[in-house]
Structure 1
Amino acid sequence: MPRFSVIVPAYQVQAYLHECLESVLSQSYPDLELIAVDDCSPDACGAVIDEFAARDPRVRVVHLPHNTGLGRARNAGMERATGDYLVFLDGDDTLTPDALLALADRLKETGEPDVLVYDYARTYWAGEAVRNRVAAELTERGPAPFRLTDRPGLLNLLMVAWNKAYRREFVQRTGLTFPPGYYEDTPWTYPVLMTAESIATLDRVCVHYRQRRAGCILRTTSDRHFDVFDQYDRVFAFLDGRPELERWRPVLFRRMVDHLVTVYTRRDRLPRGSRAAFLRRARAHYRRHRTPGAPVPARARVHHTLVRFGLHRTYRALRLTAAAVRGAARFAGRLLGGLRRAALRGHYRLQRLLPLHADHALFTAHAGRGGDPGALESAVRDLAPRLRTAWVAGPEHHHTLAPGTRRLVPGTAAHWTALARSAYLVTDTDTEPGLVKRRGQTLVRVQRGTPLGHEGLDLQERPAAARDTDFARVLAGVDQWDYVVSADRHSTLTWERVFPGRYTTLEYGRPRTDRFHTATGADVAGLRKSLGIPRGSVAVLYAPARRDYLRTQPRLLDLERVVRRLGPRFVVLARGHHPRQGPLEAASDRVLDVSGHPDLASLCLASDALVTDFSPLMFDYAVLDRPVVLHAGDWEAYEAARGLYFDPRTVPPGAVAGSEDDLIDIFTSGHWCGARSARLRAAFRDRFCPHDDGRAAERVVRRVLLGESDLPPVVPLDERRPAPPASAAPTMSDVPPLASPPPPRQPAGLLTVTDGG
């Protein structure tokens, strides 16, 4: 008897079925049977299912003689299921990696509940993944398992069959089956949740819910959407025979009205001319199932009024009025936007006629605040207090700025005034479009990271990585640079070739790494405490480079498997590349998702080691003189698409792993912090960190802003004392309590995933 029976009905999904079935059979938890139901599909779905059955004995095939619809196809799969738990998956959706392993672990933890509810993310054709907006309802708080009366908020989740696992004995005992017609999930899901004696939740994305551009039932214009009325009649009939469930009638009534309004207002569902008839039936259902005294939330009263009185003409009038108002607002917005842009251009021209402020310096950074510009601004305030500094950053970053620093919002008149009249402009981003550098202005460009992958003009031969880069505009910006801050000889030679210009290169080190020398052991312990790193743990920062040539970023490591193999001593900090990619799908509470953490330097200081591939972060991290391990399974693909100036495997900063198992072995055997790793790191630091002694920002400020030529000498490598790692830092008990509690942890431990920017 398998643990899971995964039931996949298939009808006209031949383009997606292979990926769906593969996502099931490739699960790391193999104790399953896959029941694929060909609902007499006119395309190649049946053939695809047969091919999978021929190669994997876990696949059981059901070919229905005629098309029955999604609900009855699922029933056919349930009749043949033998697993402990039933899992439903539509033929165009997929299971996330390790989803069944996470389900199995949670079922065991919660004592084999009747129903386990888990999360999903909507995936779009452009690669975007958006997690369920009410995922907070799945937070594993309070007792588990529980009944619906303990957590009624579960009814706010999408009422579908494929975000739950059902104990097969429970389904057989209650006699639940799927009805025919559209919206067949409605009379299945509500009864399941209301009658389950035990429910548990799993706060993890286990299903990728594909949002198809065409072909989806819910986006098909048809009279079949009238089936929603019959489905709610079945739900209330279920309640009529069970007085003990009467308490749920008001809740279901409100959900029904919301659902009917959704179907009525979506323009791609009901055929033209059928909306009035739909609203008349909705009015009849409202009166039939209305519960006297049922409270109606204020925000839903308009919808309830619309359905209660069948106000079809009123709705049409309101919709036309709203469309007219929106159109007028868009026109007014475009007009005002054009006038604003013209006014700002005129304002900027006028400001350029006024004298420069010789004591003003303007800073701009890629991530709002921090990085090299942040380190330089801090040095300016220390070494040249007569200079007035200003930061261009969005309002969300203003709270991070130092007291006394002027805050400017991008695109405002104040911003353009500062661009026109500040004597010094410091940035690590492309110059502002429309900027005209005046005589007497000095523009300092700090490059983000040491170049490993191709940059600048070298990307002309790498269209996959260059995307829509305007190289003429890039060179126009280069012509405005006066100084470029470089970290080492390799960087200097590369920048001057790929960004040719008349600027002066300042090979003084990376200002952003100065903090690695000024931080103390107490600072390190405090950062670890704020992140929730247990005392005595080894925190590994995992930082793969972004694959510019791919729309969606690949899953390079099975983080849950890694920490499970490494043992309880290790924790993983995981930092995603882009918020639109959705949350990291980790099943372990020792993999901490720090994708939203604003300070990469803090994560470096808090960690004990770095795992990366082509990320420029390896050069910064080497300044800390802590272990670095290289891991990448797609060296050839990355080099072909992005291009590499050198193969880091030939001059590595530490141990090199060729596979995930090699990486695990490097940590379990101790090679990651062994003598050979230390020798490789020393050679790497000697080559790429010759000036990173904690005074790089000071040298830049003294040379550019103070005009000094006698600069602080570089501290030799063997005399540098960067911040000590956790093993040498004070214990957690030695650190004073934080002024405010740390941000809430998501399930995880410590490897760190970042874009390495």
Structure 2
Amino acid sequence: MLVSVVIPIYNMSDILNKCLDSISSQSYENIEVICVNDCSTDSSLEIIQEYVNKDARFRCIDLKTNIKQGGARNAGISHASGDYIFFIDSDDWAEENLIEELASKVKNVPYEIIYCDYSTRFNKPELDKVVVRNTVNWDVDNIYEIKKKLLVKPSPIWSALYSADFFTKSKIRFPEGVFYEDNYVVPLLLCKAERIKKVQKCLMNYNMKNVSVTRTFNNDSFFDRLKTAKLLHEKVSSEPEFDMYRTELDFYIFEIFLLNSSIGCYRKFYPVRDAEAKAIIDDYFILNSDFVSNPYYIKKVKSNFFYRCYTLVLFNSRWVVRLLYSIKNFLLFSSQRLK
């Protein structure tokens, strides 16, 4: 069984080798590695070419227009000849048995999606932790229950192996030219899948080492999450096949559209973007004013005191959030300037 590994790459020359080395050294050798250079302006293309020259399994697609990660992944899908596809971001890295462990699950059952756990990796090892994103009981839950639990808090696109035939039949592709493309694609894939499995091992490493104030603050691409959330809402609202999962999808969209995006206007910007936060909240209340009756929302508000306070303050006393984050971010940026 051939596995295609698709790697979208844009200006990652300082850490790209770690990712490519982790793939070239996989214990499962029957792979093709499709490196998609998305118009890098650093030496990423030269690094890719080095691997192409020394390992016949590596291929390079050199895009002439920057179409962001979603577009680069689509290009990788169109060039993939494997039975299964694994996506990995160019700043992350895999354990050497990643593909072997995931591929072993499809020997007897043609699963469409095979998940694994992953670790967040920081500059301080004591901060590293294994992430388990859901409450699925893989030995007991049926496929309907599995999908409902996964949809409430989907795992990243790079934490699973996907059937190439599944992509072909579903005709699902990543939105291009925007960030946060996972927010759109992963829930749709979950809804359409009929066979999902998980390897109960931590096999991927999510790189948090290159996160900094300068990289994560005041970046307007943050608002792309609204574009992909709206695309998802439009998609699932217009096609009846998603109706059986609308409760889960609506709660997921609520969190990524309204909650995470509005609070991000305070957490991710200095000065804070209060006007944008208000617009996001107003837009969502028009889009889905009935979200307070969603059973997942009700359960979380009742069971989590901080979540309840968080939402109440955000919707009714936003000035408190504005004041707190204005002070916090001022202190954060002041400390950065002193370094």
Structure 2 matches for 1:137-148, cutoff 5 A? 137=136, 140-142=138-140, 146-148=142-144
Looking at structure 1, the residues matched to 138 and 251 of structure 2 have their Cα atoms a distance apart, in angstroms, of 26
Aligned with 1:189 (options 186, 189, 198):
186
**Structure in which a larger fraction of residues adopt helix:** 2
Looking at structure 1, the residues matched to 88 and 114 of structure 2 have their Cα atoms a distance apart, in angstroms, of 15
For the pair 1:21 / 2:17, whether they are aligned, the reply is no
Query: Is the contact between residue 257 and residue 304 of structure 1 (CA under 8 Å) also seen in structure 2?
Result: no
Quick one: structure 1 residues 112 and 56, their matched pair in 2 at CA, closer, same or farther if it must change by over 3 Å? same
Q: Secondary structure at the match of 2:107?
A: helix
For the pair 1:200 / 2:200, whether they are aligned, the reply is no
Looking at structure 2, the residues matched to 55 and 140 of structure 1 have their Cα atoms a distance apart, in angstroms, of 41
Q: Secondary structure at the match of 2:172?
A: coil
For the pair 1:315 / 2:311, whether they are aligned, the reply is no
> What fraction of aligned residue pairs are identical, expressed as a percent?
23
Aligned with 2:118 (options 120, 125, 135):
120
Looking at structure 1, the residues matched to 315 and 138 of structure 2 have their Cα atoms a distance apart, in angstroms, of 38
Aligned with 1:175 (options 134, 159, 171):
171
Aligned with 2:230 (options 233, 237, 253):
233
Query: Is the contact between residue 134 and residue 149 of structure 2 (CA under 8 Å) also seen in structure 1?
Result: no
Q: Which amino acid aligns with 1:9?
A: P
Q: What's the CA shift for 1:136?
A: 5.5
1:317-376: CA deviation from partner (whole Å, max 9, x where unpaired): 56689x7xxxxxxxxxxxxxxxxxxxxxxxxxxxxxxxxxxxxxxxxxxxxxxxxxxxxx
TM-score, normalised to structure 2's length? 0.84
Q: Secondary structure at the match of 2:7?
A: strand
Query: Is the contact between residue 257 and residue 307 of structure 1 (CA under 8 Å) also seen in structure 2?
Result: no
Query: Is the contact between residue 148 and residue 248 of structure 2 (CA under 8 Å) also seen in structure 1?
Result: no
CA RMSD of aligned residues (A): 2.6
Q: Secondary structure at the match of 1:203?
A: strand
For the pair 1:37 / 2:43, whether they are aligned, the reply is no
Alignment match, 2:71: 72
Q: Which amino acid aligns with 1:160?
A: P
Looking at structure 1, the residues matched to 38 and 64 of structure 2 have their Cα atoms a distance apart, in angstroms, of 8
Q: Which amino acid aligns with 2:111?
A: P
Looking at structure 2, the residues matched to 290 and 282 of structure 1 have their Cα atoms a distance apart, in angstroms, of 10
Structure 2 matches for 1:367-516, cutoff 5 A? none
Query: Is the contact between residue 148 and residue 193 of structure 1 (CA under 8 Å) also seen in structure 2?
Result: no
Alignment match, 1:289: 288
Alignment match, 1:163: 159
Looking at structure 2, the residues matched to 217 and 142 of structure 1 have their Cα atoms a distance apart, in angstroms, of 45
Looking at structure 2, the residues matched to 90 and 215 of structure 1 have their Cα atoms a distance apart, in angstroms, of 18
Aligned with 1:222 (options 207, 211, 219):
219
Alignment match, 2:240: 243
Q: Which amino acid aligns with 2:16?
A: L
Aligned with 1:258 (options 255, 259, 273):
255
Quick one: structure 1 residues 225 and 176, their matched pair in 2 at CA, closer, same or farther if it must change by over 3 Å? same
Alignment match, 1:7: 6
Query: Is the contact between residue 253 and residue 290 of structure 1 (CA under 8 Å) also seen in structure 2?
Result: no
Alignment match, 2:93: 94
Q: Which amino acid aligns with 1:175?
A: K
Query: Is the contact between residue 233 and residue 253 of structure 2 (CA under 8 Å) also seen in structure 1?
Result: no
Question: Unpaired segments of 5 or more residues in structure 2?
Answer: 329-339
Alignment match, 1:209: 206
Looking at structure 1, the residues matched to 274 and 220 of structure 2 have their Cα atoms a distance apart, in angstroms, of 10
Alignment match, 2:331: none
Q: Which amino acid aligns with 1:241?
A: S
Looking at structure 1, the residues matched to 279 and 105 of structure 2 have their Cα atoms a distance apart, in angstroms, of 46
TM-score, normalised to structure 1's length? 0.39
Looking at structure 2, the residues matched to 142 and 65 of structure 1 have their Cα atoms a distance apart, in angstroms, of 48
Query: Is the contact between residue 116 and residue 199 of structure 2 (CA under 8 Å) also seen in structure 1?
Result: yes
Query: Is the contact between residue 7 and residue 88 of structure 1 (CA under 8 Å) also seen in structure 2?
Result: yes
Q: Secondary structure at the match of 1:121?
A: strand
Looking at structure 1, the residues matched to 140 and 313 of structure 2 have their Cα atoms a distance apart, in angstroms, of 39
Q: Which amino acid aligns with 2:104?
A: D
Q: What's the CA shift for 1:294?
A: 1.8
Quick one: structure 1 residues 46 and 216, their matched pair in 2 at CA, closer, same or farther if it must change by over 3 Å? farther
Looking at structure 2, the residues matched to 315 and 173 of structure 1 have their Cα atoms a distance apart, in angstroms, of 45
Question: Unpaired segments of 5 or more residues in structure 1?
Answer: 324-757
Q: Secondary structure at the match of 2:271?
A: coil
Quick one: structure 1 residues 237 and 269, their matched pair in 2 at CA, closer, same or farther if it must change by over 3 Å? same
Query: Is the contact between residue 119 and residue 202 of structure 2 (CA under 8 Å) also seen in structure 1?
Result: yes
Query: Is the contact between residue 16 and residue 92 of structure 1 (CA under 8 Å) also seen in structure 2?
Result: yes
Quick one: structure 1 residues 216 and 245, their matched pair in 2 at CA, closer, same or farther if it must change by over 3 Å? farther
Q: Secondary structure at the match of 1:33?
A: strand
Q: Which amino acid aligns with 1:122?
A: T
Quick one: structure 1 residues 279 and 86, their matched pair in 2 at CA, closer, same or farther if it must change by over 3 Å? farther
Larger radius of gyration: 1
Q: Which amino acid aligns with 1:173?
A: K
Q: What's the CA shift for 1:156?
A: 4.7
Query: Is the contact between residue 219 and residue 268 of structure 1 (CA under 8 Å) also seen in structure 2?
Result: no
Looking at structure 2, the residues matched to 162 and 58 of structure 1 have their Cα atoms a distance apart, in angstroms, of 20
Q: Which amino acid aligns with 1:261?
A: L
Looking at structure 2, the residues matched to 232 and 61 of structure 1 have their Cα atoms a distance apart, in angstroms, of 31
Alignment match, 2:103: 104
Quick one: structure 1 residues 220 and 148, their matched pair in 2 at CA, closer, same or farther if it must change by over 3 Å? farther
Aligned length: 316
Quick one: structure 1 residues 165 and 279, their matched pair in 2 at CA, closer, same or farther if it must change by over 3 Å? farther
Q: What's the CA shift for 1:256?
A: 2.9
Quick one: structure 1 residues 19 and 319, their matched pair in 2 at CA, closer, same or farther if it must change by over 3 Å? closer
Query: Is the contact between residue 159 and residue 190 of structure 1 (CA under 8 Å) also seen in structure 2?
Result: no
Quick one: structure 1 residues 314 and 248, their matched pair in 2 at CA, closer, same or farther if it must change by over 3 Å? farther
Higher relative contact order (CA 8 A, sep 6+): 2
Q: What's the CA shift for 1:231?
A: 0.9
Quick one: structure 1 residues 192 and 142, their matched pair in 2 at CA, closer, same or farther if it must change by over 3 Å? same
Q: Which amino acid aligns with 1:313?
A: W
Alignment match, 1:51: 50
Query: Is the contact between residue 222 and residue 271 of structure 1 (CA under 8 Å) also seen in structure 2?
Result: no
Q: Secondary structure at the match of 1:152?
A: helix
Looking at structure 2, the residues matched to 177 and 312 of structure 1 have their Cα atoms a distance apart, in angstroms, of 37
Q: What's the CA shift for 1:105?
A: 1.0
1:578-623: CA deviation from partner (whole Å, max 9, x where unpaired): xxxxxxxxxxxxxxxxxxxxxxxxxxxxxxxxxxxxxxxxxxxxxx
Q: Which amino acid aligns with 1:164?
A: A
Q: Which amino acid aligns with 1:213?
A: N
Looking at structure 1, the residues matched to 121 and 41 of structure 2 have their Cα atoms a distance apart, in angstroms, of 26
Query: Is the contact between residue 122 and residue 130 of structure 1 (CA under 8 Å) also seen in structure 2?
Result: yes
Query: Is the contact between residue 159 and residue 185 of structure 1 (CA under 8 Å) also seen in structure 2?
Result: no
1:456-502: CA deviation from partner (whole Å, max 9, x where unpaired): xxxxxxxxxxxxxxxxxxxxxxxxxxxxxxxxxxxxxxxxxxxxxxx
Q: Which amino acid aligns with 2:121?
A: T
Quick one: structure 1 residues 228 and 172, their matched pair in 2 at CA, closer, same or farther if it must change by over 3 Å? same
Alignment match, 2:334: none
Q: Secondary structure at the match of 2:143?
A: coil
Q: What's the CA shift for 1:74?
A: 0.8
Q: Secondary structure at the match of 1:14?
A: coil
Q: Secondary structure at the match of 1:142?
A: coil
Q: Secondary structure at the match of 1:208?
A: strand
Q: What's the CA shift for 1:219?
A: 2.0
Q: Secondary structure at the match of 2:204?
A: strand
Quick one: structure 1 residues 302 and 256, their matched pair in 2 at CA, closer, same or farther if it must change by over 3 Å? farther
Query: Is the contact between residue 9 and residue 73 of structure 1 (CA under 8 Å) also seen in structure 2?
Result: yes
Q: What's the CA shift for 1:7?
A: 0.3
